[in-house]
Each structure stands twice: as structure tokens, then as C-alpha cells.
């Protein structure tokens, strides 16, 4: 595959290159793409040095697959240009996620919906991916009614500038601010921009994207998204009300059997998921699994994942792997609709 990584110099882009290398994705030619600011910069992949190119040159090269992690505006403008030359775009931004003509994919859940005609495929929001992966098997078994989620999100979710802000503050250095307030020793109930309804855009992504991924509008999700001074991964306190009652041992069993999920749940040994341990791993970790004693058929759990891995790069590479394995990229000889 001729593969373009758009946003290669960014937080997600760096992990994307790591994940492509670790999983030995079949790359015949690699194009590393970023803004004009970075053109000419050198990046390395599998011990080979590559020169960063601009978007125009990347489109001209007509890659088979382009993985975008360069912000919504770049995706809105450039993903259609790649699609026009036959490239399949996998996009990490929020630009296409709720577009009814685009698929929103967590491979373990709905990759089967993909066809060779899907030229722009959306990767869900990082907080959504880890939550929905754990909710899917439980929804199938007990039928969700309502989800209440509060997030504790890593600064790495905002990008390079935010990690720098936190590190500067910790070291007492004055520098550029990615957030309107200090983040070190703080908690900001503010992820992405505020909307007219008083929620942030991140909170509305958590409310809407699970319905699209699970192709079911019969349950609802309400969210509060909070940024905290950690860099390792996102954590979520999730309260789920089901239509049907459940057995806690069975819930643990269902989650343990779900590909991509690791259950870490033993109060006797202080075993529970934490971002410091999820960091650098592809799995979604679930713990603190317990009954909500205030309401029937209701479960509490704590879900943690590395937002740059399963929340972004790993999920995107898994989509690319699915496309290649199922011959859904135009250059694969037997590509079928």
C-alpha cells in the first residue's frame, strides 16, 4: 500500500507511525504530510529518514490510503481531494463523523459495514471509542436505556501544545497556553468548545456518536467532559441503566471475552485501571464494576484507555488493516462493492 500519514508531526501522527511499524502494516511507499510549516522536516519510520511533504504533493502522489490527524478544517478541505483521486481516507478529526453518508467505525463493532465505495471513513472521538467498546457487549445482552458519563481526560487529547503547557507549568516556565486557564494542579470542565445548549462539543460527541456506531437511537447518553493534568490516557466514570437486569459475574465475563478489553477489577488487591498503566497500550481497561444501589438494572464502571492509541492511531490502523484484508481499497485486485 502507498500510505500517506497526514499530520505526521503531531501528537497522534507520531503514535500513528509507531503503531503502523509495530503492526507491520504492508507499506510499499510512505508519505509523511504536515502543514507548510513542517515541509522539509525529517521524520523517521523503521530506521529510514523521510522528508515531510505538503498536502498538494501528497494528493498528486495518489496514495491508496491516507490517514488524517490534522484537525477538522484540514480534513474538510483535503479529504475530498484525496477521495477524488481514488485514495481511501481514514479521518481522525470530527469533520465527517456525523455526516450520514460517512461510516463511523470501531472495527470490533461495525467494520463489516465498510465497502469499497467508502472513500472517507471517520474514526470516532477518543472518549467515545473506549466507552462504546465496553458498552457494546452489555447493550447486546441487557439493552441500554441511559448512560451518564463523566470523563477525566488527558492533556495529550488536545495535542502537542497542551502537553507543553502542562510541562511548562510544572517546571515554572512561562509559555504558550493551549487552555484558557492553568492545567497543572487543576481540572477544567471544558473539553473542546462550548455550544449553544451549554454542553461542550466533546460532550455532544459522547452523546451522539455511540448511537451512530451501534446503529441504535433507543438509548441516550449524557456527558460531562473534564480535562485533568495527566498525559497517559482518558478515564471515564460510566453509569449505565439497562432495560434488563444483569448478573455482575456475567458482566465481567462478557467484558473479559470482548476483543480489545482487559478487565482489571479487584478491590482486595487495589486493582483498577489507571492512565499511568494504560499509557502506550492498545487495550481498553475496565474496572470498578459494581451495581448502582440507588436504581434497578444500573451498573457503574471505570473505563481507561490511551487516547492516542485505541482512541486514535490504533483504531485507525485497525480500520486500514480491515480494508486491506477485505480488499476494500481500490488498488487491491479483487476490490468489490
Ligand X SMILES: NC(=O)c1ccc[n+]([C@@H]2O[C@H](COP(=O)([O-])OP(=O)(O)OC[C@H]3O[C@@H](n4cnc5c(N)ncnc54)[C@H](OP(=O)(O)O)[C@@H]3O)[C@@H](O)[C@H]2O)c1
Stretch that binds ligand X, among 181-189, 221-229, 275-283, 306-314 (CB under 6 A): 306-314
Closest CB to ligand X among 123 and 264?
A: 123
Separation CA 316–CA 337 (nearest Å): 21
- Of the candidate residues 307, 310, 323, 324, the single one contacting ligand X (CB under 6 A): 307
Closest CB to ligand X among 40 and 189?
A: 40
* Site for ligand X contains 233 (CB under 6 A): no
191 Cβ neighbours under 8 A, 6+ residues apart: 151, 153, 157, 200, 202, 203, 225, 226, 227
* Chain residues 168-207 in contact with ligand X, contact rule CB under 6 A: none
- Of the candidate residues 9, 165, 279, 314, the single one contacting ligand X (CB under 6 A): 9
Listing DSSP states for 274-330 in one string gives: -HHHHTT--SEEEEEEEE-TTSTTEEEEEEEE-TTIIIIIHHHHHHHHHHHHTT-ST
Closest CB to ligand X among 92 and 230?
A: 92
Give the residue among 145, 134, 144 at the shortest CA–CA distance from 108. Answer: 134
285 Cβ neighbours under 8 A, 6+ residues apart: 261, 262, 263, 264, 273, 277, 278, 303, 304, 305
Closest CB to ligand X among 190 and 252?
A: 190
Residues 109-128 as x/- pattern, contact with ligand X by CB under 6 A: -----------------x--
- Of the candidate residues 27, 148, 160, 226, the single one contacting ligand X (CB under 6 A): 160
- Residue 77: in which H helix or E strand, if any? helix 72-84
Determine whether 234 is an active site residue: yes
Q: Which residues bind to ligand X, rule: CB under 6 A?
A: 7-13, 34-35, 37-38, 55, 69-72, 74, 92-93, 126, 156-157, 159-160, 307-308, 311-312
Amino acid at each position: 500500500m502507498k500510505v500517506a500519514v497526514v499530520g505526521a508531526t503531531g501528537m497522534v501522527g507520531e503514535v500513528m507511525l509507531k503503531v503502523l511499524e509495530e503492526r507491520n502494516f504492508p507499506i510499499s511507499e510512505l508519505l509523511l504530510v504536515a502543514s507548510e510549516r513542517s515541509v522539509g522536516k525529517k521524520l523517521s519510520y523503521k530506521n529510514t529518514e523521510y522528508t515531510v511533504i505538503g498536502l498538494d504533493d501528497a494528493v498528486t502522489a495518489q496514495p491508496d490510503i491516507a490517514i488524517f490527524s490534522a484537525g477538522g478544517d484540514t480534513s474538510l478541505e483535503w479529504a475530498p481531494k484525496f477521495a477524488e483521486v481514488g485514495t481511501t481516507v481514514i479521518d481522525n478529526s470530527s469533520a465527517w463523523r456525523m455526516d450520514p453518508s460517512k461510516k463511523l467505525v470501531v472495527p470490533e463493532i461495525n467494520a463489516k459495514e465498510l465497502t469499497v465505495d467508502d472513500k472517507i471513513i471517520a474514526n470516532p472521538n477518543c472518549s467515545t471509542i473506549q466507552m462504546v467498546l465496553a458498552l457494546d457487549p452489555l447493550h447486546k445482552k441487557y439493552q441500554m436505556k441511559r448512560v451518564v458519563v463523566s470523563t477525566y481526560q488527558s492533556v495529550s487529547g488536545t495535542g502537542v501544545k497542551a502537553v507543553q503547557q502542562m510541562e511548562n507549568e510544572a517546571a515554572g516556565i512561562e509559555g504558550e497556553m493551549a487552555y484558557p486557564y492553568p492545567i497543572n494542579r487543576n481540572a477544567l470542565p471544558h473539553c473542546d468548545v462550548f455550544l449553544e445548549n451549554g454542553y461542550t462539543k466533546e460532550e455532544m460527541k459522547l452523546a451522539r456518536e455511540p448511537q451512530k456506531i451501534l446503529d441504535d437511537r433507543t438509548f441516550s447518553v449524557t456527558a460531562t467532559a473534564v480535562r485533568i493534568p495527566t498525559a497517559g490516557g482518558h478515564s471515564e466514570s460510566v453509569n449505565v441503566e439497562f432495560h434488563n437486569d444483569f448478573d455482575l459475574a456475567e458482566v465481567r465475563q462478557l467484558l473479559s471475552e470482548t476483543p480489545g478489553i482487559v478487565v482489571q477489577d479487584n478491590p482486595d488487591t487495589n486493582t483498577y485501571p489507571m492512565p499511568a498503566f494504560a499509557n502506550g497500550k492498545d487495550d481498553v481497561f475496565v474496572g470498578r464494576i459494581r451495581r448502582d444501589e440507588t436504581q434497578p438494572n444500573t451498573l457503574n464502571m471505570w473505563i481507561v484507555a490511551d487516547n492516542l492509541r485505541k482512541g486514535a492511531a490504533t483504531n485507525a490502523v485497525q480500520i486500514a488493516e480491515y480494508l486491506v484484508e477485505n480488499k476494500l481499497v481500490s488498488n487491491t485486485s479483487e476490490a468489490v462493492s
